[in-house]
């Protein structure tokens, strides 16, 4: 059976492709806090995650979505719920809620700023990356060559720093809060549904590879 991750990649790619040449569609689906506040267009909290600024933006997010989404989806199915249906539903709830959660701080900050708008699945993909980080804290990342947990610390610091600088058009604030949400979702899910796995995870954090050798 086709994975939900692949369905999300295909759906996002198709919607983004259509929006590239349709300015009205792009404007109606983008995350625009002022429109949400003034006109109650709450759909923008979700729809912004299915459109992207350009091909580069789309490809990067879809590569990350596929790579880490496949892992997290299998983790929900095989480890947390041990049920394909329940695992798939949990994964879908996780992904969609991550899009929303990553946008909330930006909404509170920019709800009176008519010039601010954002698009892209970066908040949700950050959540997927940090779900992986929480589950595999000592797995090495190829770039940068760091254990996952140290990469996570660096990523949060970098996102917070760049958000405060505000010198580019990247939604670092959404990256930061998406990552925080992803980590929190996994920890809470394990503690609530599979406490024995949560305890094993805590033990895993204490088993630092380069100190135990």
Q: Supply the DSSP symbol for 139.
A: P
Distance (Å, rounded) from C-alpha 30 to C-alpha 14?
Answer: 16
Task: Give residues with Cβ within 8 angstroms of 91, minimum separation 6.
Answer: 4, 5, 69, 72, 73, 76, 77
Domain of residue 183, CATH code:
1.20.1540.10
Predicted structure pTM score: 0.92
Q: What is the pLDDT of residue 163?
A: 79
Read off the pLDDT band of 210 (50, 70, 90). Answer: low
C-beta atoms surrounding 94 within 10 Å: 23
- Which string of b and e fits 27-53 if b means at least 16 CB within 10 Å? ebbbbbbbbbeeeebeebbebbbbbbb
Q: Which domain holds residue 65?
A: 4-212
Structure confidence by residue, pLDDT tens digits, 110-138:
999 999 999 999 999 999 999 999 999 99
Q: Which has more pLDDT, 170 or 202?
A: 202
β-strand partners of 147: 140
Task: Give residues with Cβ within 8 angstroms of 77, minimum separation 6.
Answer: 83, 84, 86, 87, 88, 91
Structure confidence by residue, pLDDT tens digits, 19-68:
999 999 999 999 999 999 999 999 999 999 999 999 999 999 999 999 99
Q: How many domains does one find in the chain?
A: 1
Residue in 109, 101, 102 with CA at minimum distance from that of residue 37: 109
Structure confidence by residue, pLDDT tens digits, 159-172:
888 878 766 556 78
Distance (Å, rounded) from C-alpha 127 to C-alpha 184?
Answer: 9
Distance (Å, rounded) from C-alpha 116 to C-alpha 107?
Answer: 10
């Amino acid at each position: 059976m086709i994975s939900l991750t692949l369905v999300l990649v295909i759906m996002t790619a198709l919607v983004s492709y259509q929006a590239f040449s349709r300015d009205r569609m792009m404007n109606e689906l983008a995350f625009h806090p002022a429109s949400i506040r003034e006109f109650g267009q709450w759909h923008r909290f979700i729809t912004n995650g299915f459109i992207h600024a350009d091909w580069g933006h789309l490809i990067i997010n879809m590569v990350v979505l596929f790579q880490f989404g496949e892992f997290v989806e299998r983790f929900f199915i095989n480890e947390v719920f041990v049920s394909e249906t329940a695992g798939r539903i949990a994964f879908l709830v996780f992904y969609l809620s991550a899009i929303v959660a990553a946008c909330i701080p930006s909404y509170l900050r920019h709800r009176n700023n008519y010039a601010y708008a954002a698009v892209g699945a970066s908040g949700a993909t950050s959540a997927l990356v940090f779900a992986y980080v929480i589950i595999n804290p000592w797995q090495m990342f190829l770039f940068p060559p760091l254990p996952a947990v140290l990469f996570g610390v660096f990523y949060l610091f970098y996102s917070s720093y760049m958000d405060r600088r505000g010198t580019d058009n990247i939604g670092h604030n959404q990256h930061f809060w998406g990552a925080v949400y992803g980590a929190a979702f996994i920890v809470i899910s394990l503690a609530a549904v599979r406490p024995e796995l949560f305890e094993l995870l805590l033990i895993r954090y204490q088993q630092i590879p380069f100190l135990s050798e």
